[in-house]
A and B are shown apart, each in its own frame.
Chain A
Amino acid sequence: MSALEQYGLLLGLTIGVIAFVLSLYLFTQMIGKTRQEPAKDVPATGGQLSRDPVWVRYHARYYGYALLFLAFDMEMAFMYPWAVVYKQVGRVALLDMGVFLAILFLGLLYGWSQGALRRQ
């Protein structure tokens, strides 16, 4: 199979799953409808509407990790092609990526020393 056909198959799989779920919804609608009754649609908060709105700004207390995560996640984009050719290129590849990773690791240590690895 060519690459295009492979991705076409994956797209078909996605559409197939959606169709399966829709048919399941249709089937359950056929065997019985949801009755509209008062207070049935209150979210699970002890039977009452919650006092405060739910869609509010949320304090992402792990933001220190999140910033480090960005750096490491970008680095992974380089790691995959590097890993494929690693054995061919040999020792140079190990040194190149070693220096790169060492710098990143120093960044992690610096972040740790500054209290980034803590839920704020």
Chain B
Amino acid sequence: MTTVLILLLLALGAYLVAVIETWTITGRFQLAAPLFAGIALLGRESIVPRKPDRIFFEVAPVLLLISAILAAAVVPLTPDLIITDLATGALFINAALVYVLVALLMAGWGPDGAYAMIGGWRFLGQLIAYAMLIVMPITAVVMRAESLLTTQIVVSQAGVWNIVYQPLGFVLFFIAAMALAFLPPFDLPTAKGELAGGVEAEYTGVRLAVFRLGRLALIITLAAATVIFYLGGWQGPWLPPWAWSAIKILVVTATMLLIGRFMPRIREADLLAWCWIFGIPLALLNIFLVGVLVLVLP
């Protein structure tokens, strides 16, 4: 029952992401546009390129969707509204989201198209840049919560949210989450106007619909993960828990999408250099600071 409810909420969330994304790009708030776009995609032909690696080509969109949904399965919206409260929840989010890379690399390799291929390889470089900035801040969060249970992580923020307790970790995780979801300043694998859609370039019709659905689910999942790791999850005064979760997740999503609106696309070489020269030392510093804080504060 909970599973079905969360999957429906995830679908609703993905839909709202599409609405917000249109709003951040065009300035128009069209509530029905994603519905029509989805129906149009289903009605179109889904062409397979002439000499594809058929298995990679077919698996990639499905795998993207699966990895986003599996990560969402361990994210609590209220104390009870969670699909499975895994004992290794925080680690599992990581494990599930690594398959985003696999999916995009498959989508790049599969169709035997030059643009797609470049997009796929670029994302491999992007992973090497952002991956450490996902796992290291999560470690610092786990240190404070003394548990990998995602519900326990939210409960540990009862007094002070992690965004106050470890602001450095929040900033790093937020940027890395945007890179993981390949949102605009980091949209190297898709790169509209430069790679003609990159890994999306060879997908049409229903396969593209599944690919885009996977991407939207990934964005909402990462926003939800940011909320439970740093913004106190369902906690907040006056309103019921589910309302706080919904408000926070939507605000984080809108922020992620809005930032990309005002930033030029970052080159792969720059992203790698900045992530390793500034990002990782800062992430290690964050672990050390949290380590001291956890021991000093009661």
Could you tell me if A84 and B135 are in contact, using CB atoms closer than 8 angstroms?
no
- Counting contact residues on chain A (CB < 8 A from B), the size range is 35 or more
Tell me the dominant secondary structure on chain B's binding face: helix
B186-223 at interface with A (beta carbon < 8 Å): 196-197, 201-202, 205-206, 209-210
B237 CB contacts on chain A under 8 angstroms? none
Could you tell me if A21 and B65 are in contact, using CB atoms closer than 8 angstroms?
yes
Using an 8 Å CB-CB cutoff, how does the interface string of A16-52 with B read, 1 for contact, 0 for none? 0110010011011001101100001111110000100
Given the contacts A24-B206, A44-B202, A76-B135, A105 and B146 also touching, CB distance less than 8 Å: no
- Count A-B pairs with CB separation below 8 Å: 168
Could you tell me if B294 and A62 are in contact, using CB atoms closer than 8 angstroms?
no
A72 CB contacts on chain B under 8 angstroms? 132, 280
Given the contacts A32-B43, A50-B114, A84-B147, A13 and B131 also touching, CB distance less than 8 Å: no
Could you tell me if A62 and B272 are in contact, using CB atoms closer than 8 angstroms?
yes
Query: Out of B48, B124, B128, B146, which one reaches A86, CB within 8 Å?
Result: B146
Could you tell me if B273 and A112 are in contact, using CB atoms closer than 8 angstroms?
no
Could you tell me if B284 and A65 are in contact, using CB atoms closer than 8 angstroms?
no
B109 CB contacts on chain A under 8 angstroms? 55
| Nearest 8 interchain pairs by C-beta | A43-B113, A119-B269, A83-B142, A6-B84, A41-B50, A34-B45, A28-B206, A44-B201
Which residues in A have some Cβ–Cβ distance to B below 8 Å? 1, 3, 6, 9-10, 13-14, 17-18, 21, 24-25, 27-28, 31-32, 34-35, 40-45, 50, 54-55, 58, 60-62, 65-66, 68-69, 72-73, 76, 79-80, 83-88, 90-91, 94, 97-98, 101, 105, 108, 112, 117-119
